[in-house]
Amino acid sequence: MNRQQVTPPTPREAQEAIEARMSALPSEARPLEECSGQTLREDVYAERDNPPFDRVCMDGIAIDSRAFRRGVRRFALEAMQPAGAPALTLRGADDAIEVMTGAVMPQGTDSVIPLEEYDLADGCVVLKAEASGTQYRNVQRRGTDSQPGVPMLRSGIRLGAAEVAVAASAGLARVRVTRQPDIMVISTGDELVEPGQPIAAHQVRRSNAYALIAALREHGLSQVANDHLRDDEHELTERLKRHLEARDVLILSGGISKGKFDLVPKVLKNLGVGEVFHQVAQRPGMPMWFGVAARGQAVFGLPGNPVSTLLCLIRYVVPAIAHSMGATRKAPEPIALAAAVKLGRSVTSFLPVSVEYDARGQAQAVPRSPKGSGDFLALAGTQGFVELPPRAGEFPAGYVASLYRW
């Protein structure tokens, strides 16, 4: 009796199947200086109005704008208001206080005239003809940036420099972020030789693992280790068992196709890793494998060809890990093809591209078709790849595709 043939999932179906099975990682409180690149797991609120006072935005003099409207153009200078000092109070309605950028507005003043618009001599300020003293000029009003009770940052965003600064402005020394997953990158194959080691004519360099590690770290994932396993069932069984016990995510490169020495799916099954799918309706990278172990550890089996390996990592693994970290999903970037592409495939196609800009400053994807899924040199200088739907024929210049950046 023939086994019923299972139709491989589409890329979208594969992504949904993966995310549905990814275990949510716990959160932890970290010092701000250790949070760059991490996923925020709490809403951040202002501790007070921001700015907390009417703030001076230019070096100059602070005046009461009503005096300017009355026609006063000569002001006696009472004092200086530096940044970081308590607010002074204007004593005379027709006087002025010298102020510095970032200082609190003195009581009784509501306009700042920049120093370029007046002359100062013997403690007296004389405005130039072009000077303006309108109300709230060069003044940032209290609470215009944020107010208590309104989130400044939402849970799920990735913390960069600007977001860390916002958290610091809220008075937080520590914030809750997702615990980094422990990731093991594993390449398989007797033919692989480490960079820097002697190599024979029939061998190739072990490069996929280094590409995967670099890509993961570029996406803010720092807890990444790597291993190299031979095409030996006993060795694969022992080492994969050890890695499954210690790690949250395993990413394998190679050993997942239908060849005699493609032992990874068999070994994973024997170790109790439940297969979710084996193959995706896509080129390159059709043999991709995904499964889940007993404790919820995610196992990704990526094709061993370098182009397929990196494409599958960016299309599936990186978004899946971000999902498990509670990150808000980012939609792929729409981009127009700079040149026509002719394909004859009945499955989704991934095409490496470089991102360039036309005369109007519009981004466009310039196709950089590799000679095959082993042509990793073609990826150098590219910024990502576009996903093209399953259809035979030509995709014309200007066709808008989804861009996935490396």
Question: Which range among 21-30, 189-198, 220-229 shows the weakest confidence by mean pLDDT?
Answer: 189-198
Whether 28-49+145-178 and 55-140 share one fold: the answer is: no
Section 350-365 average pLDDT: 94
Using CA atoms, how far apart are residues 185 and 173, in angstroms rounded to an integer? 33
Q: Which of these, 358, 357, 403, 362, lies nearest to 384 by C-alpha position?
A: 403
* 335: nearest Cα among 350, 318, 353, 349: 353
Give the span between the Cα atoms of 122 and 118, in whole angstroms. 13
**Between 404 and 371, whose confidence is greater?**
404
C-alpha span between 385 and 68 (Å, rounded): 60
> Class assignment of domain 55-140?
mainly beta
pLDDT in the model for residue 251: 98
Q: Is the pLDDT of residue 129 over 90?
A: yes
- pLDDT band of 1, cuts 50, 70, 90: very low
Q: What DSSP line would sit under 363-389, residue for residue?
A: EEEEE---SSTT-GGGGTT--EEEEE-
What average pLDDT does range 92-102 have in this prediction? 97
Residue 301: band (very low, low, confident or very high) from pLDDT cuts 50, 70, 90: very high
| Position 31 confidence tier, pLDDT thresholds 50, 70, 90 | very high
**CATH node for 28-49+145-178:** 3.90.105.10
- Candidate CATH numbers 3.40.50.2300, 2.40.340.10, 1.10.150.20, 3.40.50.150; the one for domain 333-405: 2.40.340.10
Position 191 confidence tier, pLDDT thresholds 50, 70, 90: confident
Residues 345-370, mean pLDDT to the nearest whole number: 93
Q: Is 217 helix (H, G, I), strand (E, B) or coil?
A: helix
261: confidence class by pLDDT, cuts 50, 70, 90 = low
Encode pLDDT of 224-258 as tens digits: 999 999 989 999 999 999 999 999 999 999 888 76
DSSP secondary structure letters along 39-94? BB-S-EE-SS-BSSS-EE-SSEEEE-HHHHHTT--EEEEEEEE-TTSPPPB--STT
Q: Does pLDDT of 20 surpass 60?
A: yes
Residue 201 or residue 258, greater confidence: 201
State yes or no: pLDDT of 2 exceeds 90: no
SS3 category, 128: coil
**Alpha carbon distance 335, 367 (integer Å):** 12
Domain boundaries, the chain: 11-26+180-324, 28-49+145-178, 55-140, 333-405
pLDDT of the residue at 327 = 92
Residue type, 211: A
pLDDT at 192 (0 to 100): 84
Domain 11-26+180-324 is in which class? alpha beta
Predicted confidence at residue 5, as pLDDT, reads 60
Element (H, E) at 233: helix 233-246
Q: Kindly tell me if the per-residue pLDDT of 204 is higher than 90.
A: no
pLDDT, one tens digit per residue, over 53-89 is: 999 999 999 999 999 999 999 999 999 999 999 999 9
What CA–CA distance (Å, rounded) separates 80 from 111?
Answer: 15
Between 371 and 77, residue with greater pLDDT:
77
Handedness of CA 210, 215, 218, 220 (dihedral sign): negative
